[in-house]
Structure 1
Amino acid sequence: MTDPSDSLSLAEQGSGPTDLPPPSPLRIASQTALFLDFDGTLVEIADHPDEVIVPETLPGVIAALAEALEGRLALVSGRSIAALETLLGPLDVAIAGSHGGEFRPAGTHTVAPLAASLPDRVVTHLSEFARANGNMLVEPKPYSVAVHYRHHPEALEGLLARAEALAHEEDLKLKHGKQVVELVMPGSDKGSALTAFMERPEFAGTQPLFLGDDVTDEDAFRVLEELGGHGVLVGPMRATAAHRRLPDVAAVHDWLAAALRTHDQSEGI
């Protein structure tokens, strides 16, 4: 793997480069740890969260990578763990759901919280606002609540104002992602999830890679350097703390598949 220091992010360079280089080929080795976002990274984003199309081969690829990496792989998603397993089926891999609020190491069904539960009144307030402004989709999660405004862009200004007020009143974090505004509990972020995984024995001493597409993934990108790794932005170029970029979901699949082919060949398969 290449050293992330040889390509500074836009945030570090001010105006920054017009693009970032692609990551080196993924090398399945004892020092490699791989963390993967889901929506926009492993699957294309859909108008409705339930409408994403999961490639038939994806669960097998995730399982094969986890096995090849001897457990040093984790999914880190804004979706709940239950929602991920509904889409992918039961996978014996490490997962952090709800932006890190839910934490489940591989080999167990026990989910440990990294944050307190979201107060019900926050969901109630945002649901009332959403109904009054075009009946926007509200997605409650154990440690956050998301409002999708893709079909109601005219409501964004009011939605942000309401979300900012709730964030201040309830001591929450506000995340503005791709056509979605989300309020999350403190401690429920992808940077905290990566840090928690890296403190576990199976990840100790490894160089972590994290692939993500959205601004909610920046929490993970920012902690990577102190953890000895680097981030890979998926999708169009934008201001980011990542140091490498893949253009789209298809490129991510190709990058992962190439690593498995190389590993299989080295194993004599």
Structure 2
Amino acid sequence: MPQYLFNNKNGGCDKILNKIISCERIILFLDYDGTLVPIKKHPALAIISIKQIKILKNLIKSKNVFPILVSGREYSDIKRLVPIKNLIIASNHGFRITNGRENWIHPKVKALLPEIKKILRTLKSKLKSFPGAMVEDKKITITVHYRNAKISSVPAIKEIVEEIIKPTSSKLKLTEGKKVFEIKPNTRWNKGKAVTRILKIERLRKKEAIIVFIGDDKTDEDAFERLDGRGITIRVGYSGDSSAKYFLKNTNEVRKFLETIESVNNIKDKQ
């Protein structure tokens, strides 16, 4: 059961800050939607603030903070929203990892692209009769949004999505998020394994660093579980079932936490 990070009684934030002050490096994994920005009715409306961009840029410029985005969004989309140089991005729930030197895509994805495109066309055709439903093309994954659809139509939307991917269930799988259905390659790959790969390819030695992961959705739970006992895991929004160690109430508190890291790090840089 996650503890509230800013609860003065348990001293969670103070404990973390003390670790940050004493460590050599902070590896900071961040989700985008629901973490850096509030979830909006349409994905295009979820725009990161100039202030948040400034914080991330300052952290990247520092000597010992290593911010990394781990998002369900498609790479070009998240890169457009967060146009920061030298920022590692794990997009499509970790199925693509880009670090400026390497553009890695999970090896099983390429063979599935024709199938994914076919399903995308079918979904758009079948769901166009449901007002508010939106099919988002993420190139190597697909997201069906139903946030703006009538509540009464959601079961029918889910049934159609399940029926469409059923013939390819050995290749593709359906998962659920916050008012979305996600269609992804049917492998054991997830954000948790993407985090492990990033730590390996960037040669980030855990003994010298504190690993922090902040996320808000079901897909982030894989990372929380992967880092259990090895990192500081923070969920945005309380959930008693979460594997995260701590929770923050909303994206405003995430910004507050990042500002605190930025402040502490500025002091360390001057030392």
Instruction: Give me the TM-score of the superposition, normalised by structure 2.
Output: 0.83
What is the percentage of aligned positions where both structures have the same residue?
27
Deviations along 1:29-74, one digit per CA (max 9) or x if unpaired, are 3253110000000011111111113211222211222333546321
Which residue is 1:172 aligned to?
Answer: 172
Distance 1:198 1:137 in 2: 35
Counterpart amino acid of residue 183 in structure 2: L
Question: Cα distance, 1:202 vs. partner?
Answer: 3.5
Which residue is 1:21 aligned to?
Answer: 4
Q: Structure 2 unaligned runs (5+)?
A: 6-11
Q: Whose helix proportion is higher, 1 or 2?
A: 2
Counterpart amino acid of residue 204 in structure 1: R
Q: Structure 1 stretch 188-197 or stretch 247-256: which is displaced more?
A: 188-197
Counterpart amino acid of residue 111 in structure 1: N
Residues 1:211 and 2:194 are matched in the alignment: no
Match of 1:99 among 93, 99, 114: 93
Match of 2:161 among 155, 159, 163: 163
Conserved 8 A contact 2:94-2:190: yes
Which residue is 2:194 aligned to?
Answer: 193
Which residue is 1:116 aligned to?
Answer: 109
Counterpart amino acid of residue 104 in structure 2: A
Report how many residues are paired: 249
Counterpart amino acid of residue 36 in structure 2: L
SS of equivalent residue, structure 1 residue 72: strand
Which residue is 1:131 aligned to?
Answer: 128
Counterpart amino acid of residue 248 in structure 2: L
Residues 1:54 and 2:54 are matched in the alignment: no
Which residue is 1:76 aligned to?
Answer: 70
Is the alpha carbon distance of 1:135 and 1:250 closer, same or farther for their aligned partners in structure 2, counting shifts above 3 Å?
A: closer
Which residue is 1:5 aligned to?
Answer: none
SS of equivalent residue, structure 2 residue 159: helix
Conserved 8 A contact 1:139-1:145: yes
Distance 2:97 2:195 in 1: 10
SS of equivalent residue, structure 1 residue 45: coil
SS of equivalent residue, structure 1 residue 178: coil
Distance 1:162 1:133 in 2: 11
Is the alpha carbon distance of 1:168 and 1:220 closer, same or farther for their aligned partners in structure 2, counting shifts above 3 Å?
A: farther
Provide the aligned C-alpha RMSD in A.
Answer: 2.2
Is the alpha carbon distance of 1:251 and 1:71 closer, same or farther for their aligned partners in structure 2, counting shifts above 3 Å?
A: closer
Name segments (4+ residues, structure 1) moved above 4 Å.
Answer: none
Distance 1:74 1:231 in 2: 14
SS of equivalent residue, structure 1 residue 183: strand
Conserved 8 A contact 1:129-1:159: no
Counterpart amino acid of residue 74 in structure 1: I
Question: Cα distance, 1:163 vs. partner?
Answer: 2.8
SS of equivalent residue, structure 2 residue 233: strand
Is the alpha carbon distance of 1:176 and 1:238 closer, same or farther for their aligned partners in structure 2, counting shifts above 3 Å?
A: farther
Which residue is 1:3 aligned to?
Answer: none
